[in-house]
Chains A and B, each alone.
Chain A
Amino acid sequence: MLVLTRKKDQSIIVNDNIEITVVDIQGDQIRLGITAPRDVSILRKEVYLEIQEENKRAAMAPNVDLDKIFNEEKKQV
């Protein structure tokens, strides 16, 4: 991993078209500003991992009739 030191308001440029700026530093929190082309997706890593995990569980789905299950469950309510 490349490690760079930056101060507030300083940036790094990735691949000519992505700019990441340190907007603010407050204790152990850093605010980053990111300028990137529209087709670049930017996500908080923990959110991405959570969705990845949920998708992996979803892809293993058994073939069940969800209509039947939820109609019956609703009748029992």
Chain B
Amino acid sequence: MMINTRLFGELEIDEERIITFKEGMPGFNYLHRFVLLTAGDDKSPFKWLQCVDDGDIAFALVNPFEIVKDYDFELPDDVVERLGISSYEDILVYAVVVIPEDASKASMNLKAPVVINVKRRAAEQVVLDTDAYSVRHYILEELRRQEVPRDAGINKKKRSVYYCKR
């Protein structure tokens, strides 16, 4: 299937790679089908979540564990059930990134991570019941605060690389 996208022009979509957000995302409840794209380098913590139903809509994502190495939350039971998650090996976690005009001020939403069950190609933006994280963590500030070594979260990185190559 070919779709026209605002950011990437014409894109050939492999239907087997479509990820379904059954309930959409807050603000976009009517959009259900997305694909995960790498922007060049497979090792990058940044990805794109391109909407298949509306080519204008694309979210930049980041692997939060590579920016905030102690990022931690408990996946609620109802989410585990809805996404049919049987093992932590099945899931990918990304934070939605907002890129303002000055892209160095990009922020990520750690309060509502996107959780993808890779096996079932089912995903959800999970709203965490915690005050530990907010919807706007500035990536640069977090990097400076933590001075994350380049190999931090390497296992997660390996997993996402593996997925994207499939």
Contact = CB atoms under 8 A, between A and B. Distances in A.
Interface of A: 38-39, 41, 43, 47-48, 50-59, 61-67, 69-70, 73-74, 77
Given A51-B125, A61-B97, 11 more contacts: A41-B127, A48-B26, A51-B27, A51-B109, A51-B135, A54-B98, A54-B136, A55-B28, A55-B96, A66-B97, A70-B140
A63 B27 contact: no
B144 A77 contact: yes
Interface string B114-156: 0000000000010100000001100110011000000000000
Contact of B143 (A47, A61, A70): A70
Contacts of B46: 66-67
B11 interface: no
B32 interface: no
Interface of B: 7-8, 23, 25-28, 39-41, 44, 46, 57-60, 62, 77-78, 81-82, 96-100, 103-104, 106, 109, 111-112, 125, 127, 135-136, 139-140, 143-144
A58 B143 contact: no
B82 A69 contact: no
Residue of A41, A51, A53, A59 ringed by the most chain B CB atoms within 10 A: A59
Contacts, number: 99
A58 B31 CA distance: 15
| Top-6 shortest CB links A-B | A52-B27, A55-B27, A63-B7, A52-B26, A66-B46, A54-B135
A39 B8 CA distance: 34
Given A69-B104, A70-B140, A64 B127 contact: no
